[in-house]
Amino acid sequence: MKPDLDDIDHKILALLMDNARLPVTSIAKAVGIARTTVIARIAALEKRDVIAGYGLKLNQKLAQPAVRAYVGLSVDARYAPALIRYLQQLPETETLCAVSGAIDYMLTLRCPSTEILDKLLDQIGALDGVRQTSTSIILSKRIDRGAL
């Protein structure tokens, strides 16, 4: 069940996703409500598991290896479980999402170099059941509100 969130909840969440350490007084000022109301709303969002936790985000130069890429995968359905197990054990796998449309999965890879990415893509493309891959290298993040 999707939780009911009003505009103020959405604004608070957007501010916290940009900076989870933002002082409550700054949130209150930005949203236009009392500081105690912000505290109560954040507590309610945590209690309802809308806010699942808080994390640490390192400076991108420290946290991100040199190359990240999105890889679209078309896969024969009977080979999907083995593919998922293989990708699960790869340290370069950041995310794997089942998607609708022309491809079956969207994979995000993190590699220290384009050479390693190239070899890894060859290995993935050669797996049983992988019909096609399509790769886009991520050049930069313009907006990042993703969960940590």
Domain boundaries defined on the chain: 7-47, 60-137
Q: If pLDDT is split at 50, 70 and 90, which confidence band does 145 have?
A: confident
- pLDDT one-digit tens code per residue, 76-95: 999 999 999 999 999 999 99
User: 99 by DSSP, 3-state: which?
Assistant: coil
User: 6 by DSSP, 3-state: which?
Assistant: coil
Q: If pLDDT is split at 50, 70 and 90, which confidence band does 60 have?
A: low
Residues in CB range of 70: below 8 A, 6 or more apart: 106, 107, 108, 135, 136, 138
Q: Is the pTM of this model over 0.85?
A: no
Transcribe 18-79 into DSSP letters: H-TT--HHHHHHHHTS-HHHHHHHHHHHHHTTSS--------HHHHS-SEEEEEEEEE-GGG
Asked if the domains 7-47 and 60-137 are classified in one and the same CATH topology, the answer is: no
- pLDDT one-digit tens code per residue, 124-143: 999 999 999 999 999 988 88
pLDDT of residue 25: 96
Q: Thinking of the domain 7-47, which architecture would CATH place it in? A: Orthogonal Bundle (1.10)
Reply yes or no on domain 60-137 having CATH 3.20.20.70. no
